[in-house]
Structure 1
Amino acid sequence: MNRNIRVALWLVGGLVFMGGLAFASVPLYRAFCNATGFGGTTMRADKAPKVATDVIVRVRFDTNTNGLPWTFKAEKPYQDVRIGKTAMMYFTVTNTADRPVTGRSVFNVLPDTMGGYYRKLQCFCYEDQTLQAGESKTFPMVYFLDPELLKNIDTHKVRDVTLSYTFFESKAAKK
């Protein structure tokens, strides 16, 4: 095989590799954020911690919709919780359209260094929610702040956290 063909094959191979890497980057980044809490992504938990501390953190709740004819709000704008103690917040969603609409909520925590320590035991955000025309539903969200955050130099002094939810129309429902 002559040199020009080899160089062309290496270039085509490099192009295919880079295209595949670009195609896989979004799911890989999402998996990385879900596994580590990077970028404020909250973590799922199977059980609550056995020990709660006396340290209080104010958790604020920000609710939004994007392209959905829904109203969406938290029962209270914030909650003061002890690190390690399980807490619950209720969210009310109302479909203001004259047709059924299916939405899915995405979420984020600020400051983003707290994402890995904000643990959810139960959340409406893990699956699509369908509301009939004019229907309202109230959803619970059960969570805790992992006591391990007190050992991290970036989070041990944080006393104000914001959990932000945004409802979008479900891609699965559109199909």
Structure 2
Amino acid sequence: MAMDPKNKTAAQAVSVVVLMGALAWASVPFYNWFCSVTGFGGFTNTASTGSDVILDRTVKIRFDANIDRDMKWEFKPVQPSMELRIGETGLAFYEAYNPTDHAIAGTASYNVAPFSAGYYFTKIDCFCFNMQVLQPGERVQMPVTFYVDPEIVTDRDAKFVKEITLSYTFHETELPVEQASLSVPLAPVN
């Protein structure tokens, strides 16, 4: 028995809407997976230890710090740059300061430029892996331990990279429940 043309058109329209919704729902996880696998968009890799290969070739690492417009912290790299041999483990620090009278929680998003170097920039440990909470008036130095994977010299596009910029942006997030209950604004100083 043949389907009525009106019903067939309606079924096709519903199918298209369902397909488009499914594609929209899957696009963010797929994009994140794609970026983490390829380094596209400045995403980095992670490792539990440093590289066992260190090359004589060096690369300059620049450090950049930003805050979301609603974030009340001050945030900056302790040093603007460093030069490392490819494969050598680097340790850099960023400084954050909470000038307010209440605790503020923040999370850092990051990227690496040029994008072609993102896949080879490998973090061993980073403050960006966890939420950070700064108490009123607190100033902290937060470490990031990293290396540039020696495989970068075999990549058709990335092998010519001589300078990599590691950039962070801090965004305010909700305080954890146990911290929020303890966070009481300080009395104004007269």
CA shift digits 1:83-129 (9 cap, x unpaired): 01111001111111211111100111111100000000000101111
Question: Which residue identity is paired with 2:34?
Answer: F
Equivalent of 2:22 in 10, 20, 28: 20
Equivalent of 2:169 in 145, 166, 169: 166
CA contact (8 A) 2:133 2:175 kept: no
Moved segments of 4+, more than 3 Å: 171-174
The answer for the alignment partner of 2:32 in structure 1 is 30
Q: 1:108/1:152 Cα in 2 relative to 1: closer, same or farther (>3 Å)?
A: same
Question: Which residue identity is paired with 1:74?
Answer: P
The answer for the alignment partner of 1:136 in structure 2 is 139
The answer to whether structure 1 residue 107 and structure 2 residue 110 are counterparts is: yes
TM-score normalised according to structure 1 size: 0.94
Query: How many pairs does the alignment contain?
Result: 174
Structure 1 residue 24, shift from structure 2 partner: 2.4
Equivalent of 1:89 in 65, 88, 92: 92
The answer for the alignment partner of 2:181 in structure 1 is none
The answer to whether structure 1 residue 147 and structure 2 residue 172 are counterparts is: no
- Unmatched 5+ stretches in structure 1: none
How many angstroms apart in 2 are the aligned matches of 1:34 and 1:173? 28
Greater shift in the superposed pair: 140-149 or 94-103: 94-103
Which has the higher Rg, Structure 1 or Structure 2? Answer: 2
The answer for the alignment partner of 2:101 in structure 1 is 98
How many angstroms apart in 2 are the aligned matches of 1:129 and 1:34? 23
- Unmatched 5+ stretches in structure 2: 178-190
Question: Which residue identity is paired with 1:106?
Answer: S
1:54 is paired with a residue of what secondary structure? coil
Instruction: Give the root-mean-square deviation of aligned CA atoms.
Output: 1.6
How many angstroms apart in 1 are the aligned matches of 2:150 and 2:40? 18
Identity %: 39
CA contact (8 A) 2:71 2:170 kept: yes
The answer for the alignment partner of 1:58 in structure 2 is 60
CA shift digits 1:129-166 (9 cap, x unpaired): 11111111111100000000000121112111111110
